[in-house]
Amino acid sequence: MAQTWLWFAFVVTVGGMLAVDLGLFQRRSHAVTFREAALWSAVWILLALAFGGAIWALEGRERAMLYFTAYVLEKSLSIDNLFVFLVIFRFFRIGGEHQSRILHWGILGAVVMRFVFIYAGVAAVQSSRLVLYGFGVVLLWTGGKLLLAGDDPPSPEKSWALRLLHRVLPVTESPHGQSFFTRVEGALYATPLFAALLVVEASDLVFAVDSIPAALGVTPDLFLVYTSNIFAMLGLRALYFLLERSLAEFRYLKTGISLVLVYIGVKLLLQPWWHPATALSLTVVAATLAASIAASVAAERDERL
Q: Which residue has the higher pLDDT, 129 or 123?
A: 123
State which amino acid sits at residue 128. S
pLDDT of 22: 62
Between helix 192-218 and helix 222-234 the angle, nearest 10°, is 140
> Closest Cα to residue 201, out of 297, 115, 113, 276?
113
Residue 43's H or E segment, with its range, is helix 34-59
pLDDT digit string, tens, across residues 224-283: 999 999 998 888 877 777 776 666 667 777 788 888 888 888 888 887 788 788 788 888
pLDDT digit string, tens, across residues 74-115: 888 777 777 778 778 878 888 777 787 888 888 888 888 888
pLDDT of 24: 58
The model carries a pTM of 0.83
pLDDT of 21: 67
pLDDT digit string, tens, across residues 17-74: 877 766 555 556 666 777 877 888 888 899 999 999 999 999 989 999 999 989 988 8
The Cβ of residue 55 has, within 10 Å, a number of other Cβ atoms equal to: 24
Q: Mean pLDDT for the chain?
A: 81
